[in-house]
Amino acid sequence: MNEPKLQFPVNAAHFIPQQGEMCCIDEIIASAGISISVTATLHPKHILLTQQKVLVRAGFIELAAQSGCALMGLGQKSNLPATAWLAGVQNVVIHKDAYEDDVLLISVSIAHELAEIRVLDFKIATQHQLLASGSLKVFYAQ
């Protein structure tokens, strides 16, 4: 029996364990098995904004990690969100800052996998301008 296909966009909160203000991403706009595209709007009370209304630099990593978790959550057969632990980051480059009211497009794809470990490549952009890129090593609980 075929499962119904998701109609994008879908609320990202259904696929990750972070909820409420800890859920930093908004919608999944596309997914193709090993990749996902997610949006995040930096609204005035976004938990990752500084008092100066700039995204904290570590926020780029959190946004990518939550997007990667959503990718795994989409692939689960259960109705539970994916559970993951960030194991490492590498080659992270922050090209430009992000600010209040920016709408970010986060793209994550699986570059390598071994058992429950995934290496995820990510890019975060706004208005067709690359803001950050890098790789994450993530352990996914099953």
Encode pLDDT of 90-110 as tens digits. 999 999 999 999 999 999 999
Instruction: State how many domains the chain has.
Output: 1
Structure tokens belonging to residue 111: 């570059």
Indicate the pTM of the whole model: 0.92
- Report how far Cα 113 is from the mean position of its chain's Cα atoms: 17
Mean pLDDT of the chain: 91
CATH number at residue 119: 3.10.129.10
Burial of 84 (0-12, 13-18, 19+ CB in 10 A): buried
pLDDT for residue 29:
97
Is position 2 within any domain? Answer: no
Is position 72 within any domain? Answer: yes
Q: Angle at the Cα of 84 (from 135 to 106), degrees rounded to 5?
A: 45
pLDDT bin (cut points 50, 70, 90) of residue 31 is very high
Domain that holds residue 132: 10-141
pLDDT for residue 1:
39
First to last CA, the chain: 23
Is position 122 within any domain? Answer: yes
DSSP state of 14: G
Is position 1 within any domain? Answer: no
Residue 109's identity, in one-letter code, is: S
Residue 74 has φ and ψ, to the nearest 5°, of -60, -35
pLDDT for residue 79:
63
